Amino acid sequence: MEERIVTNQEHTLDQKLQDDLIRPKFLKDFQGQQELKDNLKIFITASKDREQTLDHVFISGPPGLGKTTLASIIANEMDAEIKMTSAPALEKPKDLAGILTTIKEGSIFFIDEIHRLRPVLEEMLYIAMEDFEIDWVIGQGPAARTIRVPIPQFTMIGATTKAGKVAAPLYTRFGITSRIGFYQEEELQHIISRSARIIGASISDEAVVTLSRCSRGTPRIANRLLRRLRDYAEVLGDGIITPAIVTDGLERLGIDHHGLDALDIRILETIIDFYHGGPVGAETLAISVGEAIESLEDFYEPYLIQKGYLKRTPRGRMVTEKAYELLHRSNKEPHEDQRLLF
């Protein structure tokens, strides 16, 4: 039993080390997003030349595209310490104050899911970002008073999948705004090839191309699938990930050659079968497919919309003609009085 526990711990540690190795450390290693990288390089170089703290950075984009990685890269490029947290983990003003009063001069402070920050913490962060001070209440009752406590100058990096939900007063305090978009297949091919070299996986050039088409434009998914395909190659093949291994492996994982999984298909089928192709509201659709609305909006919808299978309208979600073709369905529009509106 003891040997088994040790083996599991070593495996977990090895997996973490691989994840750390795969994660790029500098802008030159970060694949894709060339315009974003070029701009950041200029801003970082200018700040270092002036020996000033980098302006606050706002990063938005779908999950798995490298927002957290980019924050770490900025810290490395600035030769700065970085402290990371997420908005849900910050519950009270003292949580935020504890971090802001202990960071070093020129440090990076990264908050993920910043759109979920509590209003009382947003107000504290406004002053911290603008004046490098925090308001703190001392005493209680009639004797209570507010004092301003100076804090070291720092760079705030906020990341979110929902830029529209970030309060305007907070958003306007970021001097640098960047959006990470889905990756092109060629960019994913470079990422897959690099990751395969790092984790010691053998993969053919044709398999790299095939896998890049099924990774939903997302590096995190590409790397996750690469690991699973390495397992299939080692157990079912000769250790080399070939196009046949990719096809067989993805089929076993329930992923088609478009990168769509079972829930993607269920979303499209539900809209067609139960709502005559739409429109249907996001909450109703989420309940119908048994998925959280956050997952639906942040993970599934963006890719389905990007690939042209789904569209958003003022009245709700609707499938496109391309979705009917994918599912081999006939698109026969119902009469208006037969249409269900949500």
Q: Just list the catalytic residues.
A: 67-68, 112, 161, 220
3-state secondary structure of 124: helix
Q: Which CATH class is domain 32-179?
A: alpha beta
Task: Tell me the β-bridge partners of 145.
Answer: 138
Q: Sign of the C-alpha dihedral, residues 25, 27, 28, 33? A: positive
Residue numbers in the chain where pLDDT is lower than 50: 1-13, 335-342
Largest CA distance in the chain: 76
- Ordered DSSP codes for 216-255: TT-HHHHHHHHHHHHHHHHHHSSSEE-HHHHHHHHHHTT-
DSSP 296: I
Which helix (H) or strand (E) segment is 168 a member of? helix 168-171
pLDDT, residue 333, reads 57
Give the Å distances, CA to CA, from 206 to 49, 124, 182, 188, 210.
45, 53, 22, 13, 6
- Which sequence spans correspond to the domains of the chain? 32-179, 185-252, 262-338
Are β-strands 108-112 and 82-86 bridged in parallel, bridged antiparallel, or unpaired?
Answer: parallel
Asked whether 264 and 231 are in contact (CB, 8 A), the reply is: no
Q: CATH number for the 185-252 domain, one of 3.40.50.720, 1.10.580.10, 1.10.3720.10, 1.10.8.60?
A: 1.10.8.60
pTM assigned to the model: 0.85
pLDDT, residue 4, reads 35
Tell which residue, 333, 334, 342, has the closest CA to residue 314: 342
Where do we find the tokens 């089929």?
A: 251
State how far the Cα of 202 lies from the Cα of 207, in Å rounded to an integer: 10
Are β-strands 310-313 and 316-319 bridged in parallel, bridged antiparallel, or unpaired?
Answer: antiparallel
Which helix (H) or strand (E) segment is 298 a member of? none
State how far the Cα of 22 lies from the Cα of 192, in Å rounded to an integer: 10
Q: Which CATH class is domain 262-338?
A: mainly alpha
Tokens of 15: 């997996």
Where do we find the tokens 């030159």?
A: 28
State how far the Cα of 10 lies from the Cα of 296, in Å rounded to an integer: 35
State how far the Cα of 268 lies from the Cα of 270, in Å rounded to an integer: 5
Tell which residue, 157, 170, 159, has the closest CA to residue 44: 157
Asked whether 15 and 23 are in contact (CB, 8 A), the reply is: no
